Amino acid sequence: MRSLILSVALLAGLPLTAAAQDSKAATARPMPSARLLLCEPAANAPGMALALVQVDFPPSALSQPHRHAGVVGAVVVSGVVRSQLHGGKVVDYKAGEAFFEPVGAVHAMAENPSASEPASLIAAFITDVGCKGLTTVEQR
């Protein structure tokens, strides 16, 4: 259970070290929060699973750069989520719009550009059974 909680915390780019916490304090921006909704083995793909994660972005929230263990498709449920994969353009996704992240791509940033309205998305991962290690925060 501890590793599952850690995996979900990492999905949102939550800080795990004192240095990361100091960095967060310096930027004074809230972090997104994540909640695992589903982790089910895929009967047609032995060893693989589908994980669904809800990510909530308070106003002005900003994630740390991170990457995912499997492919990710995400749909914005409410608000606007600004996203950028490493080397790609910054894109604002509105409620009902979706985006894709290839395996191992660095998600340079995800943020809620609104200072007053929250945003949320549902991310679907195709990953290893057990849904562990969904996200790894990039070292700066």
pLDDT in tens, 22-73: 454 545 899 999 999 999 999 999 999 999 999 999 999 999 999 988 899 9
Please report which confidence band the pLDDT of residue 138 belongs to, taking 50, 70 and 90 as the band edges.
Answer: confident
Percent of the chain with pLDDT over 70: 80
Residue 140, pLDDT score: 65
Please report which confidence band the pLDDT of residue 95 belongs to, taking 50, 70 and 90 as the band edges.
Answer: very high
User: How far is residue 94's CA from residue 82's CA, in Å, rounded to a whole number?
Assistant: 9
51: domain range? 2-137
Q: Dihedral of CA 78/84/88/90: which sign?
A: positive
Average pLDDT, the chain: 84
CATH number at residue 18: 2.60.120.10
Under a CB-based contact definition with an 8 Å cutoff, are residues 31 and 23 in contact?
no
Q: What is the mean pLDDT of residues 74-94?
A: 96
Q: How many domains does the chain have?
A: 1
Does the pLDDT value for residue 91 go beyond 70?
yes
110, β-bridge pairs: 83
Residue 22, pLDDT score: 47
